[in-house]
Amino acid sequence: MADLKTDTLRTYAYILLYIALSSGQIFFNKWVLSSKEINFPYPLGLTLLHMVFSSVLCFSLTKILKVMKVDQGMTPEVYVTSVVPIGAMFAMTLWLGNTAYLYISVAFAQMLKAVMPVAVFVLGVAVGLEVMSCKMLLIMSVISFGVLVASYGEININWVGVVYQMGGVVGEALRLIFMEIFVKRKGLKLNPISVMYYVSPCSAICLFLPWIFLEKSKMDEHGPWTFPPLLLILNCLCTFALNLSVFLVITHTSALTIRVAGVVKDWVVVLVSAVLFADTKLTIINLVGYAIAIAGVAAYNNYKLKNEASRATSNDSDPESSQSQESQPLTSR
């Protein structure tokens, strides 16, 4: 009984850690990028730094310190056809998502992210991973309507920021689709550390090329920075810790728990950002629209939970088919 209570408390502690780190990372990135705060207006450079840091740290943990192992079944063909698209979409998601913070508030960015299940479902139907149904069409309509209402209630809407944020949503949806195809067709079981080990260098390369053309010259013109480099290192550490917290939550619960915790995190971010940042002005229409969208997201999560439960039941009778079902992607905050 005592062990069960201890495990329950540990699980809740991991969930709270994930919510705190995920929310904190969003605020940290906004703080670094904002012209009114740290004023490091280079989202490409910041994201590139995250990926380089992650690559070095993962290599040190797996190959030098040998704290963790990575899957040995990776081949050049699998890497090129599966990991590279995932890495490219992950780079796109983080780049565009961070760029959006230069134009729109953190709260509004989170509201727009609520449309993610719609993007994932539509792309899933297009590639044959999802099946269109009246129930799912209704759920997607509710989410879309909620996001539209929340957008209508935005006081300081900036369409450039909206385009960047929606581009990040599309990138994240494509990354999740590529990850699902990768897991189902390649049969590799990868935890988030393994994914970071393989994906981070690829994402860094994908970010490096546009950084050379879009931001390097601007950063050179600026000259030396006045804030401590340790601040950016801490920002990178927070990103890495966030992905570790995802691993801990999934290990002790399930992927669905991360999605539910993500909904809680989104509300925390929306409400707390109104206190932390001057550019966040929440309206009643904002909150009502976001509540409608979140209700749709909750219905979507419930639908996925039932599908996973039925799939798990069928896998119990076919152990070999369940070998690659628990691989999880990195979080994109």
What are the structure tokens assigned to 47, written together? 């994201």
> What is the per-residue pLDDT across 274-289, written as a single tens digit (0 to 9) for each?
888 877 788 899 899 9
With beta carbons less than 8 A apart as the criterion, state whether 112 and 173 touch.
Answer: no
**Tokens standing for 40?**
């490091």
Domain boundaries, the chain: 41-222+229-307
pTM of the prediction?
0.81
Distance (Å, whole) CA 47 – CA 330: 14
Tell me the per-residue pLDDT of 19-53, one tens digit each, with 9 for 90 and over.
899 899 999 998 888 877 778 889 999 999 999 99
Structural tokens at position 215: 């931001």
The pLDDT value recorded for residue 323 is 43
pLDDT in tens, 237-284: 998 888 778 767 766 666 566 677 778 888 889 888 888 887 778 889
